Amino acid sequence: MVDVNSPCLGCAIAQGTVRPVGGVLVRASGLVLHGVASPSPLPGWLVLTSEEHVRGLWDLPAAAARELGPLASRAARALREALRAEHVYAFVLGDVLHHFHLHLVPRFADTPAHLRGRGAFDARPADALAPEVLEAAAAALARGLGS
């Protein structure tokens, strides 16, 4: 398994040396909104990553902490409006990647039962969507976000 902490994948995405599928959609107040950096079973699976290398919610810089709620809410609205998500889950796990990130995971009317809720994290390789599907969803979200 790839070690995502050395070098740190969160830092690489924040610094632009790694481009997750969908790319960076918004950069604001020490946060980066981007597509999930692993094979995704859901179009529009977003991640909000801190630009600074911090471990968890408790040590987010003040500006990033202030921006977290508004930006997460704005991204969730874009998932509903641009992609017609029925619901948007939010998860801060951090068990694998030790750089603060918040997952915003959409649920659609046709999302299979095993991919709902935290089931999305247990997706099988066969569930992964084609990169072009994920890129198209990210482009629609970028338009919805005005970025």
Residue ranges in contact with Zn ion by CB under 5 A: 8, 10-11, 53, 99
Residue 45, classed as helix, strand or coil, is coil
Residue of closest CB approach to Zn ion: 8
Q: What is the smallest separation between the CB atom of 31 and Zn ion, expressed in angstroms?
A: 13
**Comparison of 11 and 136: residue with beta carbon closer to Zn ion:** 11
Q: What is the smallest separation between the CB atom of 6 and Zn ion, expressed in angstroms?
A: 10
Specify the DSSP class assigned to residue 86: S
**Comparison of 8 and 128: residue with beta carbon closer to Zn ion:** 8
Q: What is the smallest separation between the CB atom of 129 and Zn ion, expressed in angstroms?
A: 26
Calpha distance 120→113 (Å, rounded): 10
DSSP bridge partners of 90:
104
Provide the edge-to-edge strand list for the sheet that holds 24-28: 24-28, 31-35, 46-50, 101-107, 87-91
**Comparison of 33 and 82: residue with beta carbon closer to Zn ion:** 33
